[in-house]
């Protein structure tokens, strides 16, 4: 009988130690399953494209000049423009699948190169269009109104003959007329949106 009591005395402390350890493991497992962020699916699209928005005008003496319109903050990224949420689920790492970084970060010396580099990084094999980028930016795009500049112009700063032109192509020498909002975004695409009276597209 004494031996039996001794065995019970030895087993009791082990049970007291084992039970709390199992409880902690269960709690950690439940927390991980409930709150841990699952890994992002792999990207199936990852490329860049460029666009410029050129506003041509002229000084009072007739000398022409050009101004550029571009996002002054990031587009489709935290802290920037994120007006549309149609494809939020297609992005990775908290970024919209079509985005452009903050120009202050990309061009730290404050000199805009004349074009914006934007990116498509998506976990979905979907065709995105130029209108999808502008929707996230919150700006219109079209033959009659792009980024708030209309055709015909509503401002006396621009001649009445001014209208919008869209040219696309891999190089400056091979530009063609674009499809505006329905232009598919593809790798190395170069887009020019020009506000003037003469098309900058080759052969147009």
Report yes or no on 204 lying in a domain. Answer: no
3-state secondary structure of 126: coil
Report yes or no on 102 lying in a domain. Answer: yes
Residue (of 62, 101, 60) closest to 80 by Cα position: 101
Do both 158 and 60 map to the same domain?
A: yes
Do both 141 and 177 map to the same domain?
A: yes
Q: Are strands 45-58 and 98-99 parallel, antiparallel or unpaired?
A: unpaired
Give the domain range for residue 190: 45-196
DSSP code at position 90 = G
DSSP code at position 171 = S
Do both 26 and 56 map to the same domain?
A: no
**Number of domains comprising the chain:** 2
Question: How confident is the prediction along the chain (204 residues), in pLDDT tens digits per residue?
Answer: 444 444 444 555 554 454 555 554 555 455 554 455 566 689 999 999 999 999 998 887 778 899 999 999 999 999 999 999 999 999 999 999 999 999 988 887 878 899 999 999 999 999 999 999 999 999 999 999 999 999 999 988 898 999 999 999 887 778 899 999 999 999 999 999 999 999 988 654
CA atoms of 76 and 91, how far apart (whole Å): 9
Report yes or no on 203 lying in a domain. Answer: no
Do both 17 and 96 map to the same domain?
A: no
- Name the token pair of 19: 């039970």
pTM above 0.85, yes or no: no
Do both 78 and 161 map to the same domain?
A: yes
Do both 78 and 2 map to the same domain?
A: no
Do both 104 and 66 map to the same domain?
A: yes
Do both 101 and 19 map to the same domain?
A: no
The alpha-carbon radius of gyration of the chain (Å, integer) is 29
Residue (of 92, 111, 95) closest to 103 by Cα position: 111
């Amino acid at each position: 009988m004494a031996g039996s009591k001794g065995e019970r005395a030895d087993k009791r402390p082990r049970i007291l130690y084992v039970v709390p350890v199992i409880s902690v493991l269960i709690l950690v497992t439940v927390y991980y399953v409930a709150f841990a962020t699952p890994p992002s699916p792999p990207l199936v699209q990852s490329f860049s494209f460029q666009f410029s928005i050129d506003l041509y005008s002229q000084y009072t003496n007739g000398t022409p000049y050009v101004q550029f319109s571009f996002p002054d903050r990031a587009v489709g990224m935290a802290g920037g423009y994120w007006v549309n949420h149609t494809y939020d689920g297609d992005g990775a790492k908290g970024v919209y699948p079509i985005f452009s970084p903050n120009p202050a970060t990309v061009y730290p010396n404050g000199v805009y190169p004349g074009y914006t580099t934007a990116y498509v990084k998506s976990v979905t094999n979907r065709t995105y269009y130029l209108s999808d980028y502008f929707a996230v930016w919150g700006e219109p795009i079209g033959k009659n109104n792009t980024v708030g500049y209309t055709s015909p112009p509503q401002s006396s700063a621009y001649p009445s003959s001014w209208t919008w032109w869209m040219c696309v192509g891999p190089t400056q020498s091979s530009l063609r007329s674009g499809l505006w909002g329905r232009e598919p975004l593809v790798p190395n695409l170069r887009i020019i949106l020009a506000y003037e009276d003469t098309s900058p597209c080759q052969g147009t």
